[in-house]
Amino acid sequence: PQPGSVGYAIVGLGDYALNQMMPRFSRSARSHIAALVSGNPEKLRRVGDAYGVPADARYSYEQYDRIAADPRIDAVYIVLPSGLHADYAVRAFKAGKHVLCEKPMALNSADCERMIAAGQRANRRLMIAYRVHFEPHNIEAMALMRRGAAGNIRFLRTEQLSRTDPASRPAENWRIDRALAGGGPLEDYGIYGLQAALYLADEMPESVAATTYRPANDPRFTQVFASVASQLRFPSGAIAQLMTSYDSNGSNLVHVRGDTGALIMDPATGYSGHKMRLEGRERRDIALGDPTVQFARQLDNFTDAIRDGATIRTPDEMGLRDVRLFEAIYAAAETGKTVPL
């Protein structure tokens, strides 16, 4: 690593870490992979060799607290199942490390508050890995909506839909296990629709109504919801309709309808392949180059925060804000009542 480069311990060597984030470290000039934490010794060996991570910087979960004594590690990047984020973040702060934590920040607001307090006590930074805030199409969409390219926003419609393999069971798939995934699709995928509604409306909702669906007799959905639909009302009068599911034909759509135009992002928030179209007075397809810069730019932001005190674009309070909105959505669905915020 270059002098002054920030060293990260990757915590959890799963699909997203191995196939998306780790290969992108080479595109962040001031960040490097310094250590690995995994429950799988074979993976630790193979991935450690591939990334040139020294044998004494490969940790099991049982050894995790020992990172406190490892000066090669400045920060941890937590890419574990969501229900484990809070405990591993708090332990990292106890070890004196900074924390980049995957979305969702945690499964309830009490855990988020516990993470924030631990970071403050340790005087260390905490960022939630909302990569979309570093993706060129989404950044341009925020700017377009802010300058009224669709006029006054009336509706935001988001669909984050996927289909969980019919053979999947909670014992083998953490995404449908309540302890690790909370309510399921909303925390995992619907979070992108919620985020988009907030950063495109550029305001906070004043009330929430919602419906959840869990089919009887489907072994995939004994613990989590199959589908969640929610409706947010904003002070400006804009209304967001958010749909998310683990039991639907796939979709990753964000659609904004204003009084003079519309913005259609489809797909909106993936790793690459974004498509965006503006309709109305200005009418054009918007292509903005390489969406995969989002991974390294996210790392750059956190590294600059650690090294130089830079402002974090997707801070812990944003993670907490979203988890509180999940709680309001579930409360609205449970009571059948509109929940004021």
Binding string, residues 277-306; x marks residues near ligand NDP by CB under 6 A:
------------------------------
Residues 153 to 212: which contact ligand NDP by CB under 6 A? 174, 188
Q: Would you name the residues annotated as active-site residues? A: 103, 192
The C-alpha atoms of residue 248 and residue 226 are separated, in whole angstroms, by: 9
What token pair was written down for 97?
Answer: 């490390």
Least spacing, CB of residue 260 vs ligand NDP, in Å: 33
Residue 12 sits in the site that holds ligand NDP (CB under 6 A): yes
Which residue stretch of 9-17, 113-121, 252-260, 278-286 sits at the interface with ligand NDP (rule: CB under 6 A)? 9-17
Cβ closest to ligand NDP, residue 6 vs residue 11: 11
Which of 14, 96, 151, 280: binder of ligand NDP (CB under 6 A)?
14
Amino acid at the residue 308: D
**Amino acid at site 224:** V
Give whichever of 13 and 332 is closer to ligand NDP, judged by the CB atom. 13
The SS3 of residue 155 is strand
**Residues between 118 and 157 that touch ligand NDP (CB under 6 A):** 129, 131
Q: Which of 242, 263, 221, 213 is nearest to 325 (CA)?
A: 242
Q: 3-class DSSP state for residue 226? A: coil
Part of the chain binding ligand NDP (CB under 6 A), chosen from 81-89, 118-126, 246-254, 278-286: 81-89
- What number of chain residues touch ligand NDP (CB under 6 A)? 21
Binding positions for ligand NDP, 15-44, rule CB under 6 A: 15-17, 38-40, 43
Q: How far is the CB of 184 from ligand NDP (least distance, A)?
A: 11
* Piece of the chain touching ligand NDP by CB under 6 A; list 78-86, 238-246, 309-317, 332-340: 78-86
274-299 burial string, b = 16+ CB within 10 Å, else e? bebebbbeeeeebeeeebbbbbbbbb
Nearest-CA neighbor of 6 among 290, 296, 292?
A: 296
Beta strand ranges found along the chain (DSSP E) = 6-11, 31-37, 58-59, 75-78, 98-101, 126-128, 153-163, 207-213, 227-233, 239-245, 247-258, 262-265, 276-279, 284-285, 339-340
Would you state the torsion angle of the CA atoms of residues 153, 193, 195, 259, taken in this order, to the nearest 10 degrees? 0
Question: Minimum distance between the CB of residue 80 and ligand NDP, rounded to whole angstroms?
Answer: 5
Binding mask 222-261 for ligand NDP (x = CB under 6 A): ----------------------------------------
Contact 135, 141 (CB under 8 A): no
- Which residues sit at the interface with ligand NDP, rule CB under 6 A? 12-17, 38-40, 43, 79-82, 84, 102-103, 129, 131, 174, 188
